[in-house]
Amino acid sequence: MTDSNPNGGPETAPDLDDLDLSEAEQASLHDLQLSIEHVHRAYGTLLEFHHQLGHAMDRLGDAEDSLREAGHEAWANDLRDDHLPAGAISDQWTFELVEEFSDEFLDDVDAFEREVRDELADGIDHVTERQQKRQLRERAADVDRD
């Protein structure tokens, strides 16, 4: 059996028949992998927040210049001194939040998932989906033979 390779060519699919997984283990792996995918989506949302706030800060910089040009030095100075250098959360800038999330959470849960998957499924990911793919293709092949 072959799977599609993202580069276009076939690649050998892992042999799922060699796995000795109980239903509970397979369900656990599936739940764990889905949770990891949601953690990655949360990370993407955090990156989006980081980028959006960066754009907002650029506009605040523009507003500082505009206020200064309009003769409102005090407000321009407030932006320069208080708001532009301020952190987004607890004096942290968003790049620091992104780094902390990645280094202290994302990397750890990724490593944990990999460890569990290596132990239970010989490192094969998406076991449930691979089995579903095989079953659907076998069913389709059986229908074609009728």
- Rounded-to-integer distance, Cα 127 and Cα 132, Å: 9
- Rounded-to-integer distance, Cα 14 and Cα 3, Å: 9
Sequence letter at residue 121: A
User: Tell me, what DSSP letter sits at residue 59?
Assistant: H
Structure tokens at 69: 């040009």
- Count CB atoms within 10 A of the CB of residue 51: 12
Give the mean pLDDT per block of 10 residues along the chain (146 residues): 48 73 92 96 98 97 98 97 94 96 96 95 91 91 76
What integer pLDDT is reported at residue 51 of this predicted model? Answer: 97
| DSSP H or E run through 93 | none
What integer pLDDT is reported at residue 12 of this predicted model? Answer: 62
Taking CA 90 as the corner, what is the angle to CA 86 and CA 93, rounded to the nearest 5 degrees?
Answer: 50
Q: Is 11 helix (H, G, I), strand (E, B) or coil?
A: strand
- Count CB atoms within 10 A of the CB of residue 140: 10
